[in-house]
Structures are given as structure tokens and as C-alpha cells.
Amino acid sequence: MKTGNDKIQGITGIVIESPLIRRTLIVIWHILGICASHWLAFQLRFDFDVPLVSQVVFWNTLPILLIVCLLIFHLFRLYSGLWAYFSIDDVIKTVLAVFCAIITSAFVIFAARDFTFEGIPRSMFFLDYIFIIGWIGGSRVVIRYFRQHRGDNLEQDEDRIILVGRTEDVDLLIRGTRNVRLGKFVAIVTDDPGQDGTTIHGIGISGSFDEIAGIVEKNRASCVLVLPPFNRPGQMNAIVDQCSRIKRSLKFRTIPSLAEIAAGRLNVSSIRKVDIEDLLGRGTADLDRSEVRRFVKGKKVMITGAGGSIGQELCRQIAGYEPLCMVLFEISEFGLYEIERGLKRQYPNLNLVAFAGDIRHPEEINAAIDQVGGIDIIYHSAAYKHVPLMESNVAACFRTNVLGTARLAKVAIERKVDRFVMISSDKAVRPTSMMGATKRIAERVIAELPSNGTTFVSVRFGNVLESSGSVIPLFKEQIARGGPVTVTSPDVKRFFMTIPEAVDLVLLAGTIGRNGEIMVLDMGESIKIVDLARKLIELSGLVPDKDIKIEFTGMRPGEKEFEEVMTRDENVVQTAHRNIWVFKRGDDHAGGAHIDLSQIEQAVLRNDVKELRGFVRKYVPENMFGEQAQSRKGTEAQR
């Protein structure tokens, strides 16, 4: 996008960078204007036939008028304003400056002629006033007009923008973007049907939200810019769905806050693309975070998997609650480096320990704890989470998700950690995958351990947007390559949360949970993955099945078409917090035999996949591996 100076150069062919030269030219322009105005005043007064005596008066009064006007214009700083941004305030200042200059000139001329106006036409002062205002103000208005409207002629490829917002906010935006060239505003859509047919700054208000697709087509718009509060997920979804009927490219943009416009700080970077989080995110502003703050403040906290998507957000949010120190425990060198660097920049006074370690090795966990002289809280997010990969890496999945969790939990008991919060998954509910089954076994492991003073809590939730294993980054990458976007099945559904929202609830659930409880986050309604793919394509300014194809690849090993965070047969009750549920203590439907970790460890050492799968059937009786196999056979038969 070009700047104002770039475009003025495009109009005039000249860019003046030196302030001294620029001010000199403005003074010369004002001198010309004063002389021309004074001459024209005399010409009009005498119908363009000025008598000789009046010509003498003209030459006698012109120097006085020039000197007085230039001095007063300097006092009013008329030489310093940027003409391209000439405003109503500048108009008022110009009118007042010229008025003072004419009154002062009249007084000086009156005094110079022995306090008489004999031989001087009185109308001269009035005409001077009108013509000088016209010259000074008019030249600035012309420059501003060209700056605002030059794009109509110079930039044929600029965006044609539909504005969606309240009239007062639209007015703020239009006035705030006079310094920023966004494109051509072609129509306004508001929530007040009574304003249909009126205009704001010459831009017509057309129809309502229900007619936005037709308004876009009628105005050949290429961009829809949505202002608060209409950029909330529900209304944003409705706008995108309405516009999905248009079978051509269309961009969606939004401004997160109108505060920047009101403060006059709006710039191009303030306006961003509408992303999938804007459609799926659900606000959690009503959470009482004071409970978390009281629990975490002044404590020694360890986060395992600190370099992962969830782990990093846990670190960032926990750091904001002022812990005494934080131990970042991570096996990935790069992930550990990234989160440590970010936290040091944001919280320079926070006591941080970045420890490269593996939860499968108790000696490394103990070494990390020793560095800070003990730990009060452990948030355990380290795990293997990729469903299809874990189907072909069963031993690794058990080694990390089950044995790693058990070893970490035992160290927590030995080191008298106050609370242990494990991040679980919706895939642990009636699991069809090794990943889900191992997370379910891990839930049971920490629930069955003799706590000896340590409170063990599991927190279960579904997919998070933009996490490293999420489908969203994959879809974005496929769209950037030109497609196709691959979806496993037209019927597959998933729950989604934003990472900050999920972690916000995890911290609260982990704070209020009691020993052995499994906390379940309310994920809202599940979403069809194919609908998600279509919306991502539309938000990229492309048309699904035209610009970007969608291909169905079939269900992968371990996957099921729908996910659950809780089932009807589980005894789950809502807590005092509306987005958090809990299994009643002692009634988590674990069933089955007591988990023998030594047997699991031996099978892992032998890489005995068959025996490990047998442990799933033994320790997770509610698993759906058999149902999944039957479902897959039925799907293949239909094909």
C-alpha cells in the first residue's frame, strides 16, 4: 500500500522533503493569494474599471495588507499544517486568522491615514476577507480532495469495501482512515433498518445483514470489513455464511478494537484478516480468575511439555499470575528455547529455569526440581497426541503417555508436590485409538495412586485451534499451495477451542478439582471438518470447489467420525463454573482390573504391540476398537 507522500508525488510529480523549502513555497503562495485577492477586490468594486486615484490607494494599502496578513498567519501557524489533512478545525483557524488579519489591516490603514477612510472603498475589506479565505482555504481543500479521491483514477485494482458496523463507528472509521488508503468504500451495512437509503460521508447505507450477499454483488465489492461488535463469532459466522453464496473471491477483514480509531492511531496493521478463530472462538471473560491467582501466586510451578502448543500457553498465562518461579521442562530443544526467550522478554524479573529433560526419566525430573529446591504445582502437558502416528508407534505411546505420566506422578508424591494437574483429551472417552486409550489409562493411573498429600486432577478437553497437531495449520498450508484440501470424511466432526480459552479453563479446573477427579471442559457444539475447510477457503478470499478443491481421503487408523468429552452413561455433574464439569468422585466408570505398571513396562521393553493392545481391552473396557472396526468395514462396503 502506498503512503500519502507516494501518492502526492503521483499527482503532482513533485515531492518536497525539505521543511524550509516547503514553508517558503507556502509563504510565496500566500503572498500571491493576498495580492490577487486585493487586486480582485478593487476590480469588482469598480466593475473592472479602477480610477487612477483608487489605483494609488491599491498600491498604498497592499504592503500593509501583506505584512499584517503574513504576521498573523504566522501567529496562527497557517504555514505548518499539512494540506492533505485539512480538517474542520483548520477551517475554523483559517477563517479566524483571516478575520484578525483584515481587522488589524483596517485599523493600521485607518491610523496611517490620520484616522480616516477617506478615498478607501469600505467594501474592499469585506471582499479581501472573502477572497483570501477562498484562496487559502480553497487550495487546501483541493489538495485534500485529490488525496482522498485520487485512487479512483490511479488505482483501479484497489479493494471495493463494504463496511459492516454501527453508524457512529463507521463514521469514526471513515474519518480515521483519511490518513490511510484502505480502498474505496462502496456501501455500508448497519443493524438499523431505518437508516436504509441514507448516506454517511457520501457512502450509501444499504439493506441489512440478511441482505449482505446481494449488497456485495450489487456493488461489485471485493472486501467486507466488519467492525466491533459485529465481529463476534456468532455474527461473523452469519456474515460469512451469507457471503458464501457468492461464487467469486471475497476478502473478510476486521478491526479488533475501535479504541485505536477513536484515539487517531489507526494504521494498516490495525486491520487484519478474519481468521477461523474469529468464527469459532468463545469468550471466557466471565471466569473468576482470582481463584487461579490466589492458588498460583508465590508458588513454585513446573510445566512439562513447556515447548508445545498447550505448554507454551500454560507458561504464558501462569507467568501472569506471579509465581515465585517456573520450571520449564521440555524434551524439544527448540521448543524450550522459544518459550524461554518469549517469557524472558515479557517477564524479565520472573525466576525461570529452562530444563531439557524427559518425563520418562525420574532422575531428570528430580534434577529439575532440585534446581529450585522443591515444587508446589506440576502442570503435566507432555504427551504424544497425534492419533494416526501413535497407531504405528504403540510402544512409544505407552512409554510416554502411561509410564512417563506414572513416573512423573511418583516423583510428585516423593517430593511432596501439592498438586498435579494432567492435561487429558476427549479421545480418552470410549477410545478408538492408541493415543486415546493411553490417555485414559493415564487418567486411571494418577487416580489410583496413593496420593500421600498430593492432589491429582485430570482435565479433559478436545481439539484446540492452531495447535501443532491441529488440522487448521494443515488446511492453511494446503490452501497456500493451491489445494486440494484433504478431509477424511464428509461426516467427521470435532470440538474446537482456541488455545488461550482452553488453557484459561484448564487452570481454573485444575485449581478447583479434588483428588482423583476428572474435570471436563464444555467444548460447545461439535463442528463438521468439511464445513471448517470451506470456511477457511472462503476466509482466504477463494471459492471452495472452484479455486480450491476439497478431497475426501477416508478415515485414518484410530480415528472416529465424532468425538465426546463426556457420555450419557457417565455420572458427570456441572461445577459452580458453567464451562467446567466433573466426574463424581469414585464413579469415573474406569472399571476393569487394577493397572499393573510393571507388566506394561515389560511389554514396552519387548515392543510387544499385541500385549499392549491387550492391556487396552483389559484396562479400558469402554473402548470402541471393535465398533470402530465394524464401522470401517461398513464404510468400505458402501464405497
Structural domains of the chain sorted by starting position, each given as residue range(s) with its CATH number in brackets: 4-151 (no CATH), 158-274 (3.40.50.720), 290-463+496-524+565-634 (3.40.50.720)
Comparing 177-191, 520-534, 556-570, which segment has the lowest mean pLDDT? 556-570
Beta strands in 217-269 (DSSP E): 223-226, 251-254
Please give the residue that has the higher pLDDT: either 318 or 472: 318
The pLDDT of residue 627 is above 50: no
H helices, E strands: number in the chain: 25, 22
Containing H/E element for 585? none
pLDDT of residue 151: 45
Hey, what's the cell of 422?
A: 494432567
Statement: residue 284 has pLDDT above 60? no
Q: What DSSP character marks residue 89? A: H
Residue scoring higher pLDDT (540 or 251): 251
For the stretch 46-62, pLDDT in tens is 888 888 888 888 888 88
User: Is residue 610 scored above 90 in pLDDT?
Assistant: yes
Average pLDDT over residues 483-500: 78
pLDDT tens digit sequence for 106-156 = 888 877 765 556 667 778 888 888 888 888 888 887 877 776 555 444 444
Proportion of the chain above pLDDT 90, given as a percent:
26
Q: What's residue 330's pLDDT? A: 96
- In order, the DSSP letters of 279-317 are HH----TT--THHHHHHHTT-EEEEETTTSHHHHHHHHH
pTM for the predicted model, two decimal places: 0.62
**What is the average pLDDT value for the chain, to the nearest integer?**
79
Helix, strand, or coil here: 421? strand
Q: What sections of 358-517 are H helices per DSSP?
A: 362-370, 387-391, 394-398, 405-414, 434-448, 471-480, 499-512
- Top pLDDT among 188 and 141 is at 188
Return the pLDDT at 30. 86
Q: Residue 571 — very low, low, confident or very high, per pLDDT cuts 50/70/90?
A: low
For residue range 336-387, what is the model confidence (pLDDT) as tens digits?
Answer: 999 999 999 999 999 999 999 999 999 999 999 999 999 999 999 999 988 8
pLDDT higher than threshold 90 for residue 183: no
